[in-house]
A and B are shown apart, each in its own frame.
Chain A
Amino acid sequence: MPNGKLVTLRQMQSGQSGKVVQIQGGFGLVNRLSALGIRPGKRITKVSSMLMRGPVTIQAGNTQVALGFGMANKIIVELD
């Protein structure tokens, strides 16, 4: 059972870190995200999000990735 609070990537605050527990998307999205190092079990840190439903930037390992607001809503993270 997860110990931390579960939130979507969109709900995370900038600067918070956590572990990806689930990606609620189709095969295509899961495939593209995992290729960029975002998949269940990986630790990520939210760097920033743009105003007006703009993209979210996260740090995953040594990579920074920017992804759309809708995608960020489909990524479930267990906060540290």
Chain B
Amino acid sequence: MKILLMGNPNVGKSVVFSRLTGVHVIASNYPGTTVGYTQGFMKLGEETAEVVDVPGTYTLEPTSKAEEIALKMLSTGDIVINVVDATNLERNLNLTLQLLEKGIPVIVALNMWDDVGHRGIHINLSQLEELLGVPVIPTVAVTGQGIKKLVERIPRASSPKFPPRSRDERWVTIGNIIEQVQQVTHRHHTWLERLEDASVKPLTGGFIALVVLVGTFFVVRFIGESLIGYVLDPLFDTLWTPVILQLSSLLGGSGFLHSTLIGNIANGEVNYVESFGLLTTGLYVPFAMVLPYIFAFYLILGLLEDIGYLPRLAILMDTIMHRLGLHGYAIIPTLLGLGCNVPAVLATRILESKRERFIAATLISIAVPCAALQAMVFGLVGERGIQYVAIVYGTLFVVWIILGFILNRMVKGFSPELLIEIPPYRLPLWRTVLLKLWMRVYGFLKEAIPIILAAVLVINILYTLGVFDAIANFTAPIVTGLLGLPKEAVVALVIGFLRKDVAIGMLAPLGLSAGQLVVGSVVLAMFFPCIATFVVLLRELGVTGMLKAAAIMVTTALVVGGVLNLIL
């Protein structure tokens, strides 16, 4: 049996899904968090049922790619659990009625039931059940309230076979239902609602956005640096260095195995950044340089997501984003890209047109540096002075704006206007914020560490074989002539296809000037996506789209790198 979880965007389907299946998925407080679908399994009596978390949809007449996916899923299901936001009953019933007209058995989970009281709403449950002809179970998915009852009633899901209605007839029917089951009493604005309004007014909203963005930057940096300086560096120095030194002398201090596992050791000191051994750089880069920033970034992003701030930022950014051929909501994939470009490219599905998705995905993969890359820029470029870090960020930002401006002119078609639902502010629950943080950190560890280790291994093997010398000589005119980098820097560009963090690390032993380091970092950020991003880009844009995007990437990177080389 296949059970579909369907409902309007941002009603809590993903949280219900986690409750039913025990499979944790990323849930946030903004419409469009789920853009693909996730499957899980649950026990239903003796049987095991498949549960699918379907992207949110307002109607069964799709208006975006995420909604198209939802509609396609519908024909494959046996039962629909229709998750309904109890505080927006009227609007949500539009989808409910359309589902009932399809003749598929439905059970309604009336979610956010705890919020109904605060908002002065009273709903007559038994009457709603009677009018719809399907079971209606009040739930509070974030706390688990009502979930057990929902599971018990799943077998009673029914299909009352509503006659197909026209859109207007449907709204009349909904109006009648609402009149009979819902009463709303007046109440005063809470402080959260005042803050909601202030966040979308030009003056106060701009101020709040500035505080949030600048605050995020400094808090992430503070947490990241503190973790490195007070926890991870001391751990490596006191616990790991003695082990490495011991092992080094066991291996005789040189040879292929020594250089692969440990790398170069000078004067009894381990240089974790430059030695390039599996057990030194291979572990230090992911754990002590990148992980602290991943942790810090996703902690703050998770808080902003769950509070419900991101759609408000979309409103404020809308006018600017239109200049780039996008609308304000594209700021959400862009922000996700500052963590990792892979979920960011996937999140471009919340945009309506193919044109917007192409522009957004291309801009993200060129000008939005992921947390791993940023961590390395802080670590290596930051040593030479914070002004150089600022040049890296400033350049990428200017490229983002100018390239967006050009793409808006060049790519055919037009971009639709913004039309989004703004979720209420909610106080985040620590449990859910930390769970989401853990999922993302674990995802990083699971996906990045094997690739980082593989990259370090490949580097060692290719060095031993002398392959890099051949490449370096071949590309010297571009790397040295155009970018002003030593010819060996091309190795970093090649490795950049595997992981950007390791690639930036490879610039460390080259003895670059601060200016060269800036050029190298910027070119690495823009030149080509890492393999994981490449795969999703290929899937989302298709082969032709990917080829176009790749051509734009290489060209932009060389032009910008060349210009920086001339200036610095």
Contact = CB atoms under 8 A, between A and B. Distances in A.
A31 B421 contact: no
A48 B417 contact: no
Nearest to B95: A35
Contacts of B87: 62
Contacts of B424: 64
A59 B118 CA distance: 17
A47 B163 CA distance: 38
A75 B303 CA distance: 35
Contacts of B422: 57, 63-66
A53 B422 CA distance: 19
B88 A32 contact: no
B318 A48 contact: no
B419 interface: yes
A31 B471 CA distance: 57
A68 B58 contact: no
B171 A34 contact: yes
B318 A36 contact: no
B540 interface: no
A37 B58 CA distance: 10
Contacts of A52: 319
Interface stretch (B143-151, B196-204, B379-387): B196-204
B197 A63 contact: no
Chain A binding site: helix, strand, loop or mixed by DSSP? mixed
A39 interface: yes
Interface residues of B, number: 35
B94 interface: yes
Interface in B43-93: 58-59, 61, 63, 87-88, 90-91
B324 to A, nearest CB: 15
A64 B196 CA distance: 10
Given A32-B63, A35-B91, A63-B91, A48 B200 contact: yes
A8 interface: no
A78 to B, nearest CB: 18
Given A31-B59, A36-B58, A61-B88, A50 B202 contact: yes
Contacts of B202: 48-51, 54
A24 to B, nearest CB: 15
Interface in A10-43: 14, 28, 31-37, 39
Contact of B319 (A14, A53, A62, A67): A53
B221 interface: no
Contact of B417 (A14, A35, A70): A70
A52 to B, nearest CB: 5
B186 interface: no
A6 interface: no
Nearest to B423: A64
A37 B311 CA distance: 18
A67 B201 contact: no
Nearest to B202: A51
Given A48-B200, A66-B314, A32 B319 contact: no
Interface string B413-450: 00011111110100000000000000000000000000
Interface in B269-315: 311, 314-315
A54 B416 CA distance: 13
B167 interface: yes
A61 B417 contact: no
Interface of A: 14, 28, 31-37, 39, 47-55, 57, 61-71
9 contacts: A31-B61, A31-B167, A32-B58, A34-B167, A48-B201, A63-B422, A64-B422, A66-B318, A68-B417
Given A48-B200, A52-B319, A64-B424, 14 more contacts: A34-B171, A36-B91, A36-B419, A50-B318, A51-B319, A54-B318, A55-B417, A62-B119, A66-B200, A66-B311, A66-B420, A66-B422, A68-B418, A71-B419
Pairs of residues from A and B, 8 with the lowest C-beta to C-beta distance, nearest first:
A68-B417, A35-B58, A64-B422, A37-B91, A48-B201, A54-B319, A57-B200, A66-B315
